[in-house]
Amino acid sequence: MRYVMKDESRHVAFGVLSLADHYRDMAPGELADREEFVIYACELMRNRLVGDQISSVMGWNRDEVKRVVLDSAPAQVFRRMLFARVVPNLRRLGLLTPRVREAFERLGILEFEHADPEAQDRALGLA
């Protein structure tokens, strides 16, 4: 697993380096499409594994179950590890626009804007 994570980390770093100029010169309409995708994808990642199917079948309040799951320690660790990588790389790409920042603030993930994915890699022995 360590080798897979190390390889994926290199792919992300290459992607950030190779796409930064492309996004900087993007037409406003194309940028709006990217913003929409970034917001949607991050909402999906943040809200995954919240027990929606189980809540419905069991007759539980979906919003309450979602809140409990999202506030749980394992979910917080998962989000921290995920968004400590995603958000700073979006910033490096120039995709942390005012619109995206507003959405990320609402999602509670803007706090990761200045996280250091490379330090996380070193701490995990991936760098």
Q: What pLDDT score does 29 carry? A: 93
Q: Report the Cα 77 to chain-centroid distance in Å.
A: 13
Close Cβ partners of 13 (under 8 Å, ≥ 6 residues apart): none
- Provide the pLDDT for residue 36: 97
Would you say 81 and 4 are in contact if contact means Cβ atoms under 8 Å apart?
Answer: no
The predicted pLDDT at position 35 comes to 95
Where are the domains positioned within the chain? Answer: 2-123
Which pLDDT does position 1 carry in this prediction?
Answer: 53
Structure tokens at 42: 């991050």
Contacts of 97 (CB under 8 A, 6+ apart): 31, 35
d(CA 14, CA 106): 29
Distance CA 114, CA 107 (A): 16
| Residue linked to tokens 């943040």 | 46
| pLDDT tens, the chain, 127 aa long | 555 455 555 555 555 655 667 777 889 999 999 999 999 999 998 887 777 778 888 999 988 988 888 889 988 888 888 899 899 999 988 899 999 999 999 999 999 999 887 777 777 676 6
